[in-house]
Amino acid sequence: MLKTKRIHVNTDLNELSKVLEWFQGLHQESVNAEDWMQCQIALAEGFTNVVRHAHQALPPQTLVEIDLNFFPNHIEMQIWDSGPPFSLMEQIDQYTALVTDSSTSGRGLPLLQKIANELDYKRVDKTRNCLSLIKRRSSTS
């Protein structure tokens, strides 16, 4: 691993700007612009999903933890939440089947699946879940 960084923010959509500013400050020249933009989109989608869905019934002080790990050939993002667990693949299948061009929501998880080379969501202990996304660096990185 070349570098690892972590941030904790409250469950609040207004914290997205703080998360994206933190992320932008980590940009490495060795990561090409397209890969970096896709990771930024995935981070925004993942964080937004935690706030809107996983933490919707939790107090705003509930922390969302984000880890970003840089490796020579890929970037790994982990977004930790304290919501109820769910089946990632079932949700992706459900949204993919229901979402149309005029839908105003439901595109986030299928988008994450398109961006990621590997995508996983699992219950880690009795109180936390982890969305893990691996984005391999393009050969032009």
Question: Tell me: the pLDDT tens digits for 54-82?
Answer: 999 999 999 999 999 999 999 999 999 99
Q: SS3 for 8? A: strand
**Ramachandran assignment for 36, one of left (phi > 0), alpha (psi -120 to 50 degrees), beta (any other):** alpha
List C-alpha distances in Å: 54 to 25, 61, 74, 127: 27, 14, 27, 12
Bridge partners of 69, per DSSP, are 4, 76
The ranges assigned to domains in the chain are: 3-136
Q: What is the pTM of this model?
A: 0.89
Instruction: Show the CA angle centred on residue 134, arms to residues 43 and 109, nearest 5°.
Output: 50
- Look at strands 3-10 and 74-81 and give their pairing: unpaired
Q: Under CATH, domain 3-136 is a member of which superfamily?
A: Histidine kinase-like ATPase, C-terminal domain (3.30.565.10)
Question: Tell me: the pLDDT tens digits for 98-127?
Answer: 555 554 555 678 889 999 999 999 999 999
